[in-house]
Structure 1
C-alpha cells in the first residue's frame, strides 16, 4: 500500500475507542467482524464522528449489505479479496481527499457566515485585509477618504463599514454614483435640491445636505464637473454649501470618495481640481482587483451560493471541484 499511517483495531468496540482518542481521517471497515457487525459500527461512527470517512470491505455474498452501507453514509465499498496497490489504495486516497474538501468547504461556510453577520467585506487576501484595516483605522476621524480601485472591488462596502465603525454610525449614509447623475443637473442634485418649492413652501435639500451629520459616499468622483468640484471643495474646506441667491448653509459631513481613474493625470490635464485632489486624498486606500486576490474567489463564490440558495429555496450545498477550478482560472474582467 501507499504511504498511510495505519492503526488497527481487533473489533468494533476497540475501533470506536480508538476514534475517541485519536485523529483519524478514514476507517477501513470490514462488514464481517466479531462482537459488533460492520453495519452497527458504521452507524456509531456516523453518529459520533461524522467527519470521518468510511470505506467498507465486503465479500461477494455481501454486495447488498455493502450498498446499504454506502446509503447509510460510507464513502465507498471494495470487494474482497482486494488489491492493496489498486482498488483499496485508490478508495482510501479519494476518501481522504473528500474529507479534506468537505472540511475546507465547511471552513469557508463558517467564514462566510461570520462576514455576513458583520455585513462587511468578505476577504482572505492579505492585500485586501491591509486596505480594509487602513480604512477602518481612520473610521473615528472626520478626514475624507479616497478609495482607489476598479468597479466591483468593494468600494461602497468599505465606505459603509467605515461609517458603521465611526461616531456617525447613527446618522445617514448617503451613497451617490456621480457618473450616473444627469450632467446638467448633477450640481443641482448634489448641492441645491429641488429648485421649485414643495407644497409647504420649502425647497428640497440636495444630496450633500441630506448627509448632514452623517457620511456622504461619492462613487466615481472624477465624473463631477469642474463647477461641482469647486462647490465640493467649499464643503470640505469651510463646511458649507454656497447657494445661489441665498445665505450659505452649514453642513457637517464626512466625505468618502472613490474612483477608478488616475486623478493626478486628470488634474494635470485640467479635468480635476488639484486642490480638491489634495483635500480628498488626505487618506488614500487602494483596493486590489479580484484577479490580484484569487484566494478570495472560493470565499466569495460560497457567499453568493449561500445568498442565492436562500433567495430561491434551492438545496445546493457546495460548489463542485471542477466548477471551483473554472472559477479560479477565470480572468474576472470587471470583478464580476
Structure 2
C-alpha cells in the first residue's frame, strides 16, 4: 500500500512538473489572440465618435496593460533559472528583472482597473450637461496619476527589499517577481477584490440614476451622456461579474497555496506552488480574452464595424441574429428619444 501511494505521488508530481512547463505556452496561446483583438479595437475605437474620448482612451490603454500581464508572465516563465543569476549572467538577469518590473506594474494596474473605469463613468455622469463636447481631461489626468503612483509603489517595494536585505538572487526575485513575494500576491488579490466592490457600487448607482434621469434631461448633450451611460453600463455589467468570478477563484487558489505552505505540504519553490500560480494567470488571461471579445460584440458601433470588416474580408453576407439584445433595445430607445428632443428644439 505504501509503495502504491509513493508511486501515485511520483506520478502526480510528474504531471504537475509537466503542467508547469507547458502552462506558459497556454498563457501565450490565449494572450496573443487577445492582443490582436485589442489592437483591432484600438484602431476602430480611435475612429469612433460615438463614445466620449476619455472613455475610449482609458478603455484602450487599460486593455493593453491587462493583456501585458499574461504576455510578460508567459515569457518570464519560459526563461531558464540559470539566466537569473547576477553573478553568472548579468545582462540576461538585468533584462529579466526589467521585464519583471514592468510586469509587476501591469499587475497593479489590473488590480485597480475598475477604480479607473468607475471614476471615469462617475465623473462623466456628474458632468453630463457639458461632458459630451467639453475638452475636460480630468479622467485622463487621474489615470496618468494612478499609473505613476503604481510605478512609485513598485519602485518603493524594490528599494526597500534591496536596502534592508542581502543582495542575493533570492532577494532580487522577491523584490521584482510578483509570485515570489507572498505579501505582494496577497495585497494584489485584496486590491482586486476591493476594486470589484467599488465597481459594483459605482455602476449600480450610475445605472439607477441614469434610469431616473432618462426622460428628464435638460439638453441634448445631457440626454446623450445619459443614454451613453446606460449603454456602457449594460455592457460592463457582465464584465464586472466575470471579474468577480476571476478574483474569487484566484483568491481561493492563493489561499490554498498559503495553507499548504503554512502546514509544510510544499514550499514556494516547489512545482505545486508554481502550477497553482500559473493556473491563476491562465484564469486572468481567460478573463481578458472574454472581456475584450464581449466588448467588441456588445458595443453596437464596434459590432457593426466588425461585421462590415468580416464581410469585406470574406466577401460574404453575415446575417445578424433575429433576437434583439438589451443593448439594441437601449440604442433604439435612445434614437427615438433623441429625435423627439430634436423636434422639440426646432
Taking structure 1 as the reference length, the TM-score comes to 0.20
State the structure with bigger RCO (CA 8 A, min sep 6), 1 or 2.
2
Taking structure 2 as the reference length, the TM-score comes to 0.20
**Higher strand fraction (1 or 2):** 1
**Higher helix fraction (1 or 2):** 2
